[in-house]
Amino acid sequence: MSEAATVTHGYTPGLRITDRALIRRLRRLPLPGEIHVAVGDEVRADRLVGSTQLPGNVVNVNVAHELSMTPEDVLDYIIVTEGDEVETRQIIAESKSFWGLFHTIARSPISGTIETISEITGQVLIRGAPIQVQIDAYIDGTVVEVHGNEAVMIETKAALAQGILGVGGEAHGSLRVLCEGPEQSCGAELIEGDCDGCILIGGGRVTLQALEAAREAGAVAVVTGAIDDRDLDSFVGEPLGVAITGQEELGLSLVLTEGFGDTPMRRRTFELLAERDGRRASVNGATQIRAGVIRPEVVVPEPGATWGAMDEGEMHGLAVGSPVRLIRPPTFGELAVIEELPEALTQIATEAKVRVARVRLERTGEVITVPRANMEIIEE
Amino acid sequence: MSEHQALRSILATDCGSTTTKAILIELIDGEYRLRVRGEAPTTVEAPYEDVTVGVLNAVREVEELSGRILLREGEIIRPQQGNEGVDAYVSTSSAGGGLQVMVVGLVRSMTAESAERAALGAGAIVMDVVALDDGRRDYERIERMRELRPDMILISGGTDGGEVRKVVEMAELVAAANPQARLGVDYELPVIFAGNEDAREPVTEALERATQLTVVENLRPSMEEENLGPARGEIQDLFLEHVMAQAPGYPKLMGWTDADIMPTPAAVGALIEAVAERDGINVVGVDIGGATTDVFSVFGSVFNRTVSANLGMSYSISNVLAEAGLDNILRWVAEHPDPRRLGNDIRNKMIRPTTIPQQLVGLMVEHGVAREALRLAFEQHRMLASELKGVQRQRDISDAFGAAGAETLVDMMALDLIVGSGGVLSHAPRRRQAALMMIDSFEPQGVTRLAVDSIFMMPQLGVLSTISERAATEVFYRDCLIPLGTCIAPVGTRRPGDPCVRLTVRGPEGGEEIEVPVGELKLIELEEDERAQVTVEPTRAFDAGEGPGRTVEAEVRGGVVGLIIDARGRPLALPEDDAERVAAIRRWERALEVYPREPVGEGADL
């Protein structure tokens, strides 16, 4: 067996934290509909940019059963045709027998349109009223593309901080910094006064009580370093089994920049957001940690910015001198700098032979050996 | 390409959802052997959106490691000329989420379950099963079909000559939902109808306008009979013709390969089936990945596959925690990690899926998670791999008080071989860790061989078997399958310390007689390629395969671990008292030398 079998790859989630990003977000309707903006329009995050109607829910009425007859006979007694509009309780089929003495009827349980009438099954499908869907711009920016009657692209120059995991969907509001530094835990005592429409910026671990207080005070999102797994489960209402999120209806979106436990927000993220205290921003908690990874994000538009944006997705490999964060116990969350990258496979405490790095811990200056798989590059 | 002697070298790739793995096989001194393996990230997603980029990167690593030129102008050189190129290239794929199928049937436990088995056997992930008795209302079913966006829908229902109307009703629901295909915006969703032959015409009428309908033979022609082959074959054909053809870069990849691209699990299944058929044995195979766990079984030549979509070691690790509970994971660990910290650690593994345990206790916890994931996945497999439900059977009075469902085909006493695969088993620092994980979660009974896939190359060998059975078989037995040894586990329960079993082992090194009491594990050295004659004499409360207290004579094979005598009883129960449990776990770990007594290597001081 070749040595290649034991090669491990370093993990670099490539979270972007930058004050110069060119953000482009496609706003797509689930079905073609109407687009309400044109290329060149300046839009705010809450501006409706498109709307459509989804076909309504379908309800079936088993007419053969209701009229106590075989499906083949149903057509003779149906008094509506495909495409007809019907009201709730409207009669759609009736039969009379014994010279009209016995009268059986079938009614529509909803208002809607007759979709199909089947002589094979004797059932009538009725489609309810269309469901209105509207999408907003999500970020303050400019409409740069319109894709027919289905989608628009919004573009803005902005500061961007991606998190590692979030819950809840899109929100927009103004940033309000709660913590004095990235290490400070985010407890309920920090939530003071009216937070209506605010995106609250914490630092270290947020508690369940703080999230509930934030929601109560009208905040739309909380961005912080970490949370205890049990608090997250309580907040979401069920155990989070897989990291595919964004559909939860919580009334408050949450973006974690680091993960679980007592991990402070990395300083660069905290400073980037703290410097923009009070500014308008957009947040999306949607996360997918699978193929086609999606990260939660905080976007703070920079209206009128003239700088050139850094390339999106610019990534660097592990190199001597690279600042890294250690992401596995017993040194989870420690910041370090790579001192050496030995080529040969090295046996670690579990007896596994893996590629390692020698790193100097920022906090203590100690040099330790860590599997390369257990560190992530801190992108500047 | 048909099998012939001229194949001197073969390149095979497996395009997984995160990694593309390539292996180079060469004919060396008349035998097919694995030469090297390379890997690279899969490139189905942005920014590349072309699967062949990842394939070429993985092949480049193979080139570097083998010193053989395989690529010219971005294509694989074929046939082999001197030290350049290969004679054949084959591939499997589960990239982009694999093959996602939605199943529609009449009765959940009958035709719908048969359809589910057909889809799973074709290598699909079954996203949902819609059935008349699924407890949902029609609009909920329609909403579900719309929101899931499957790659295809398989409709079953009605035995031949049976129910027509309800089958057509279900087809009408599919038409009303008008579901859109997951990949590609301009093509109609493939739908297969494999139900009552009398319903073909009205079903076609209901569906032909909105979907691309194919009709195949009924997969459940009668209550007593399943006919899954035609539906399975059609699913795989449609996978190639439509789904793969829409995926980024696949039309190009399909042009390169010398055999059809197979869904990864279908290839693994083909290999497991071939092993069972070749040796005439009953086999269970398991592949525990980061997101999912696949279980395959062949009992009495009946093949079954299940996929537990949310049981895995990284992306789905939190779901294992949610389904099994922390206590069930920790019962396998002799240490007492802080539960709050442990919960956070498991969640951090979910969001940083490629990290590896750095300390011994972290490794033990991951092995505890693996045991629970394997146990749950196997439970699901036992339920689906069952006799046909709905068949009239004569029952005696005892059945009336027991479970009325069909019996599982999984007969642990009749099982000959368990093959484990996937990172946590294939890459365990000690092979005995893999052996004990498999014994603890599957609880083999009687005499059972254990093996692991050395580096997870069963998918490539499965697709290779379609062009060269010989090459696939030779590499499988010589380089892929690592025999761990044999487990002897009498079935029964008694108090710990009571007599359980006496064994007489006559091996190459002479004879040995041992007694193993209830509650203990014992390891007897028996090397790979060695065999021993064993006389197993269980006490009256235990059954080693011939009935309670009856002697079993068997020839057993060795392996890199050896002969494991498991006298802990079946069903396996851990002591309820915590101190006793910890003591038992430590004894078992010492008996098999599962973990080092002291941490070793770099970072051991941490």
**Complex-level ipTM:** 0.84
Sign of CA dihedral A232, A237, A241, A242: negative
- Residue B124 pLDDT more than 90? no
Preferred mutation among B139, B323, B335, B344 to probe A, highest tally of A CBs within 10 A = B344
- Residue A1 pLDDT more than 50? no
Question: Residue B213 is part of a domain; what is its CATH number?
Answer: 3.40.50.280
B159 shares its domain with B247: yes
Residue B20 structure tokens: 């593309």
Contact B601 A356 (CB under 8 A): no
Q: Which of A11, A261, A350 sits opposite B352 (nearest CB)?
A: A11
B118 shares its domain with B221: yes
B59 shares its domain with B149: no
CA A75/CA B269 separation, integer angstroms: 50
B77 shares its domain with B119: no
How does residue B142 score in pLDDT terms, banded at 50, 70 and 90?
A: confident
Q: Over chain A, what is the mean pLDDT?
A: 88
How does residue A308 score in pLDDT terms, banded at 50, 70 and 90?
A: confident
B26 inside 8 A of chain A by CB: no
More confident residue, B218 or B46: B218
**Whether B131 contacts B163, CB under 8 Å:** no
**Whether B296 contacts B304, CB under 8 Å:** yes
- Residue B406 pLDDT more than 70? no
- Residue B427 pLDDT more than 80? yes
Helices B339-351, A229-236: axis angle to 10 degrees equals 70
B85 shares its domain with B220: no
Is B78 among the domain residues?
Answer: yes
In this structure, the dihedral spanned by the alpha carbons of residues A274, A279, A280 and A281, taken in order and rounded to 10 degrees, is -20
B337 inside 8 A of chain A by CB: no
How does residue B5 score in pLDDT terms, banded at 50, 70 and 90?
A: low
Residue B151 structure tokens: 């790659």
Is B405 among the domain residues?
Answer: no
Instruction: State which of A104-108, B308-312, B555-559 shows the largest mean pLDDT.
Output: B555-559
- Residue A7 pLDDT more than 50? no
Question: What's the mean pLDDT in A32-45?
Answer: 95
What is residue B43's predicted lDDT score, i.e. its pLDDT?
Answer: 80
How large a percentage of chain B has pLDDT more than 90? 59
For residue B52, give its domain range.
9-95
- Which residues of chain A have a CB within 8 Å of the CB of B482? none
Nearest CA in chain B to A258: B348
How does residue B2 score in pLDDT terms, banded at 50, 70 and 90?
A: very low
Q: What residues contact A78, with CB distance under 8 A and at least 6 apart?
A: A63, A92, A93, A117, A124
Q: How many CB atoms lie within 10 A of CB B393?
A: 8
What is residue B407's predicted lDDT score, i.e. its pLDDT?
Answer: 81
Decide the pairing of beta strands A287-288 and A198-201. unpaired
B318 inside 8 A of chain A by CB: yes
What is residue B25's predicted lDDT score, i.e. its pLDDT?
Answer: 97
Residue at token pair 């922390």: B326
B83 shares its domain with B63: yes
Backbone angles phi, psi at B145, to 5 degrees: -60, -40
Q: What residues contact B401, with CB distance under 8 A and at least 6 apart?
A: none
What is residue B141's predicted lDDT score, i.e. its pLDDT?
Answer: 85
- Residue A164 pLDDT more than 80? yes
Contact B348 A71 (CB under 8 A): no
Contacts A–B by Cβ distance under 8 A: 224
How does residue B390 score in pLDDT terms, banded at 50, 70 and 90?
A: low
**Nearest of A344, A341, A345 to residue A358 by alpha carbon:** A341
- Residue B348 pLDDT more than 70? yes
What is residue B402's predicted lDDT score, i.e. its pLDDT?
Answer: 39
For chain B, how many structural domains are there in total?
Answer: 2
- Residue B210 pLDDT more than 60? yes
What is residue B395's predicted lDDT score, i.e. its pLDDT?
Answer: 44
Q: Listing from the earlier edge strand, what are the strands of the sheet with B481-489? A: B302-308, B293-299, B283-288, B417-421, B446-453, B481-489, B562-566, B521-524
The three-class DSSP label of residue B203 is helix
Is B416 among the domain residues?
Answer: no
Q: Cis omega before residue B517 (within 30°)?
A: no
Helices B339-351, B317-324: axis angle to 10 degrees equals 140
- Residue B120 pLDDT more than 60? yes
What is residue A3's predicted lDDT score, i.e. its pLDDT?
Answer: 31
- Residue A299 pLDDT more than 60? yes
- Residue B1 pLDDT more than 50? no
- Residue B92 pLDDT more than 70? yes
Question: In chain B, positions 422-461, which contact chain A (CB-CB < 8 Å)?
Answer: 427, 429-430, 454-455
Strand partners, A283: A171, A298
Question: In chain B, positions 138-157, which contact chain A (CB-CB < 8 Å)?
Answer: 138-139, 142-143
Residue B590 Ramachandran class (φ > 0 left, ψ -120 to 50 alpha, else beta): alpha
What are the pLDDT digits (tens) for A336-346? 999 999 988 89
- Residue A11 pLDDT more than 70? no
What is residue A125's predicted lDDT score, i.e. its pLDDT?
Answer: 83
Residue A75 Ramachandran class (φ > 0 left, ψ -120 to 50 alpha, else beta): alpha
How does residue A311 score in pLDDT terms, banded at 50, 70 and 90?
A: low
**Whether B588 contacts B569, CB under 8 Å:** no
Q: Under CATH, which number does the domain A3-11+313-377 receive?
A: 2.30.30.30
Residue at token pair 């379908």: A58
Q: Which of B143, B340, B602 sits opposite A356 (nearest CB)?
A: B602
What is residue B399's predicted lDDT score, i.e. its pLDDT?
Answer: 44
What are the pLDDT digits (tens) for B444-469? 999 999 999 988 889 999 999 999 98
What is residue B493's predicted lDDT score, i.e. its pLDDT?
Answer: 96
Which one of B237, B252, B267 terminates a domain? B252
B120 shares its domain with B18: no
DSSP H or E stretch at residue B172: helix B165-177
Question: What's the mean pLDDT in B162-191?
Answer: 81
What is residue B456's predicted lDDT score, i.e. its pLDDT?
Answer: 80
What is residue A71's predicted lDDT score, i.e. its pLDDT?
Answer: 80
Question: Residue B42 is part of a domain; what is its CATH number?
Answer: 3.30.420.40
Q: Is B47 exposed, middle or buried (0-12, 13-18, 19+ CB in 10 A)?
A: exposed
Contact B350 A331 (CB under 8 A): no
DSSP-assigned letter for residue A310 = B
B26 shares its domain with B43: yes
What is residue A316's predicted lDDT score, i.e. its pLDDT?
Answer: 57
How many helices and strands, by DSSP H and E, does chain B display?
19, 24
How large a percentage of chain A has pLDDT more than 90? 59
- Residue B405 pLDDT more than 70? no
**Whether A250 contacts A236, CB under 8 Å:** yes
Question: What's the mean pLDDT in B330-350?
Answer: 90
CA B3/CA A116 separation, integer angstroms: 53
Is B138 among the domain residues?
Answer: yes
- Which residues of chain B have a CB within 8 Å of the CB of A242? 291, 310, 315-316, 318-319, 350
Contact B356 A352 (CB under 8 A): yes
Looking at the complex, report in whole angstroms how far the Cα of residue A363 sits from the nearest Cα belonging to chain B. Answer: 15
What is residue A379's predicted lDDT score, i.e. its pLDDT?
Answer: 61
Residue A248 Ramachandran class (φ > 0 left, ψ -120 to 50 alpha, else beta): beta
- Residue A380 pLDDT more than 70? no
pTM comes to 0.84
Decide the pairing of beta strands B212-215 and B190-193. parallel
Question: What's the mean pLDDT in B545-569?
Answer: 97
B104 shares its domain with B54: no
Q: Under CATH, which number does the domain A58-128 receive?
A: 2.40.50
Q: What residues contact A43, with CB distance under 8 A and at least 6 apart?
A: A37, A49, A137, A140, A141, A142, A143, A154
CA B406/CA B384 separation, integer angstroms: 10
What is residue B600's predicted lDDT score, i.e. its pLDDT?
Answer: 55
Contact A57 B139 (CB under 8 A): yes
What is residue A242's predicted lDDT score, i.e. its pLDDT?
Answer: 80
Q: Which of A116, A165, A329 sits opposite B362 (nearest CB)?
A: A329
B133 shares its domain with B235: yes
CA distances from B41 to A121, A225, B14, B48, B97 (A): 51, 29, 11, 11, 15
Which one of B227, B252, B277 terminates a domain? B252
- Residue A298 pLDDT more than 80? yes
What is residue B176's predicted lDDT score, i.e. its pLDDT?
Answer: 81
CA B257/CA A322 separation, integer angstroms: 41
Poorest-confidence range of A56-70, A193-207, B109-123, B323-337? A56-70
**Nearest of B558, B573, B570 to residue B523 by alpha carbon:** B558
Contact B606 A239 (CB under 8 A): no
Which one of B229, B252, B275 terminates a domain? B252
Question: What's the mean pLDDT in B266-294?
Answer: 91
How does residue B285 score in pLDDT terms, banded at 50, 70 and 90?
A: very high
B85 shares its domain with B200: no
How does residue A90 score in pLDDT terms, banded at 50, 70 and 90?
A: very high
Q: Which of A57, A115, A332 sits opposite B348 (nearest CB)?
A: A332
Q: How many CA atoms lie within 13 A of A124 on its CB side?
A: 30
Q: For residue A179, which amino acid is it?
A: C
**Whether A326 contacts A333, CB under 8 Å:** yes
CA B89/CA B256 separation, integer angstroms: 7
Residue A259 Ramachandran class (φ > 0 left, ψ -120 to 50 alpha, else beta): left
Q: Cis omega before residue A330 (within 30°)?
A: yes
Contact A123 B172 (CB under 8 A): yes
Question: What's the mean pLDDT in B112-119?
Answer: 91
**Whether B133 contacts B107, CB under 8 Å:** yes
Q: Over chain B, what is the mean pLDDT?
A: 88
Q: How many CB atoms lie within 10 A of CB B575?
A: 15
Question: What's the mean pLDDT in A31-46?
Answer: 94
- Which residues of chain A have a CB within 8 Å of the CB of B169? 60, 118, 121, 123
Question: What's the mean pLDDT in B112-118?
Answer: 91
The three-class DSSP label of residue B426 is helix
Domain boundaries along the sequence of chain A:
3-11+313-377, 17-52+136-301, 58-128
Nearest CA in chain A to B21: A5
Q: What residues contact A304, with CB distance under 8 A and at least 6 apart?
A: none
Instruction: State which of A91-100, A288-297, B243-252, B275-284 shows the largest mean pLDDT.
Output: B275-284
- Residue B128 pLDDT more than 80? yes
Contact A328 B357 (CB under 8 A): yes
Backbone angles phi, psi at B354, to 5 degrees: -95, 5
What is residue B122's predicted lDDT score, i.e. its pLDDT?
Answer: 85
- Residue A360 pLDDT more than 60? yes
Poorest-confidence range of A72-76, B245-249, B278-282? B245-249
How large a percentage of chain B has pLDDT more than 70? 93
Question: What's the mean pLDDT in A125-143?
Answer: 91
CA B310/CA B324 separation, integer angstroms: 12
